[in-house]
Amino acid sequence: MKNLKMYINGNWRESISEQLIEVKNPANGEVIATIPRGQKGDVDLAVHAAQQAFEKEAWWKVKPHERGDILYHIAEMIKKDRDELAALETIDVGKPLSQGYADIDAAIRYFQFYAGAADKVMGDTIPIESGIIDYVVREPIGVTAHIVPWNYPIQILSRSVAAAIAMGNTVIVKSAEDTPMTAMKIAEYFHDVGLPDGVFNHITGYGNEAGAALSSHSLINHLTFTGSVETGIAVANAANKNIVPVTLELGGKSPNIVFSDCDLDKAVEGVTRAIIQNAGQTCSAGSRLLIESSFKNQFIERLLERFQTLTIGPGIKDMDIGPILNEKQFKRIQSYLTLAKSEASILVGGKQVTIEGNEGGFYMEPTIIDQVQENSKLAQEEIFGPVISVFTFNDTEEALALANSTEYGLVTGLWTKDISRAHYLADRIQSGQIFINNYGAGGGIQMPFGGYKKSGFGREKGWIALYNYTQVKNVAIKYMS
């Protein structure tokens, strides 16, 4: 077991209270580390360190391409420790080892991508009149806060932190108390790469303590949050009191829409992978399955066959499905399955699985629920487990109405060979990302990611995310009287 520390202003620290939080392995419930229980005072230290670093010459004189060099160096450090980090992410989160590797590879790509972008965000000139030169520049926004969720810690940290630092900001990361391990390693890399003190800071603690203190701090200039709608509302309200911009990536109830002319094998595999990744504990999970009525029996038969082949077990053994994070999350999923037994039909799964030697973990069979009512909780609320709810439609317009029938709008998968129909639906579905005959596109480092409606606002990933971490200044110069 490791006793880990926070990283504030270039120093490794315990919390002011000296209280600790236990970190457990989801595979078996064993304690693998302790972390400081950071609270308001610790957050204040980190924010002031970041503010002072932002204002000091040591940081603002670092040239854009030099910031890119720093980020590229971080990418190389992650690459060097790829095996260690993949195992660490797997043990910490519970996901299969191959998915842990995929997350590490995505982190490498984020740092590489934003390393290359650091000196390529340009300003503009605006024609006003003769004798006036008017130009626009993008400047760093200042102190940026990054509240990271427990399900994809290294990916989500990397995508926002790399963009923020590329643009010349300073950073405070608040990792999830359940899964802080890879964030600790990233803090080590930033320490070793020789950043000025205070440019990167990592605090640990509970969301309602450290997270709340960070989101309400008056010296924060931008806040990025990924998590539940309820917490996102609280974060946005706290930031709003300080007139601070936020980027929110919240929940999803994402549909896979399957037409009878689809490639059956590819659609079955795509639908399966979209719900079992990280045991369904994914905001972009394909948790609704919309099938053309005439094709339902054939597709469900093949999907049931595929589900029967899935393996369940500790992530480190690289099974198809790892454990649910903890008992709290497991009981939440079970409450939805209890509801399904009374108002729908469970076609497969829905039961807890006991894994020999890992009895302290919470494992669940992948589940398909049929005969779900469109306005039920099973149809409308994020279950956050390996659970699909099934619906049918008769034509394109009915599929469109079903796709748009929730308060979420994060990701949609379309499975059809009719390109005209695919484009029509892509135009009208209220979703931040549309995947046609695929789901996820290899992680999509370059593709803007975010949602419509209660899935949040603003965009992470890709070039557009850089603008989250800049503010626009206009300068007008009169050179003729």
CATH code of the domain in which 69 resides: 3.40.605.10
Give the residue ranges of DSSP H helices in 135-287.
Answer: 153-166, 181-192, 212-215, 229-240, 264-276
Bridge partners of 173? Answer: 146, 202
Place of tokens 């200039």: 221
Residue 481 has pLDDT above 90, yes or no: no
Q: What is the pLDDT confidence band of residue 442, given thresholds at 50, 70 and 90?
A: low
Instruction: Report, as an integer, the average pLDDT of 328-348.
Output: 97
Predicted pLDDT of residue 444 = 82
> How many structural domains comprise the chain?
2
Give the residue ranges of DSSP H helices in 121-219.
Answer: 153-166, 181-192, 212-215
Residues 249-286: pLDDT tens digits?
Answer: 999 999 999 999 999 999 999 999 999 999 999 999 99
Of 406, 453, 401, the C-alpha closest to 432 is: 453
Predicted pLDDT of residue 400 = 98
Question: Are residue 228 and residue 365 in the same domain, yes or no?
Answer: no
Instruction: Report, as an integer, the average pLDDT of 367-385.
Output: 97
- Give a yes or no: residue 452 inside a domain: no
Residues 42-101: pLDDT tens digits?
Answer: 999 999 999 999 999 999 999 999 999 999 999 999 999 999 999 999 999 999 999 999
Predicted pLDDT of residue 440 = 84
Per 3-state DSSP, what percentage of the chain is helix, strand, and coil (rounded to 5)? Answer: 40, 25, 35
Residue 174 identity: K
Predicted pLDDT of residue 480 = 81
Instruction: Report, as an integer, the average pLDDT of 142-151.
Output: 98
Question: Are residue 16 and residue 51 in the same domain, yes or no?
Answer: yes
Beta strand spans in 110-268 (E):
124-126, 132-140, 143-147, 170-174, 200-203, 222-226, 246-249, 255-258
Predicted pLDDT of residue 27 = 98
Question: Are residue 193 and residue 303 in the same domain, yes or no?
Answer: no
Just list the catalytic residues: 249
Residue 1 has pLDDT above 70, yes or no: no
Cβ neighbourhood burial of 165 (10 Å; 0-12, 13-18, 19+): buried
- Give a yes or no: residue 480 inside a domain: no
Q: What is the pLDDT confidence band of residue 361, given thresholds at 50, 70 and 90?
A: very high
Question: Are residue 242 and residue 357 in the same domain, yes or no?
Answer: no
- Give a yes or no: residue 453 inside a domain: no
Residues 200-226: pLDDT tens digits?
Answer: 999 999 999 999 999 999 999 999 999
Instruction: Report, as an integer, the average pLDDT of 381-398.
Output: 98
- Give a yes or no: residue 389 inside a domain: yes
Listing DSSP states for 20-82 in one string gives EEEEE-TTT--EEEEEE---HHHHHHHHHHHHHHHHSHHHHTS-HHHHHHHHHHHHHHHHHTH
Predicted pLDDT of residue 2 = 86
Question: Are residue 202 and residue 317 in the same domain, yes or no?
Answer: no
Question: Are residue 173 and residue 197 in the same domain, yes or no?
Answer: yes
Predicted pLDDT of residue 474 = 98
- Give a yes or no: residue 451 inside a domain: no
Residue 287 has pLDDT above 90, yes or no: yes
- Give a yes or no: residue 416 inside a domain: yes
Domain region containing 176: 2-250+458-475
- Give a yes or no: residue 449 inside a domain: no
Question: Are residue 463 and residue 376 in the same domain, yes or no?
Answer: no
Question: Are residue 71 and residue 104 in the same domain, yes or no?
Answer: yes
CATH number of the domain encompassing residue 331: 3.40.309.10
Instruction: Report, as an integer, the average pLDDT of 162-187.
Output: 98
- Give a yes or no: residue 139 inside a domain: yes
Between 30 and 480, the more confident residue is: 30
Question: Are residue 283 and residue 217 in the same domain, yes or no?
Answer: no
Q: Give the number of other CB atoms < 10 A from CB of residue 63.
A: 11
Question: Are residue 176 and residue 261 in the same domain, yes or no?
Answer: no
Question: Are residue 467 and residue 416 in the same domain, yes or no?
Answer: no
Question: Are residue 232 and residue 272 in the same domain, yes or no?
Answer: no
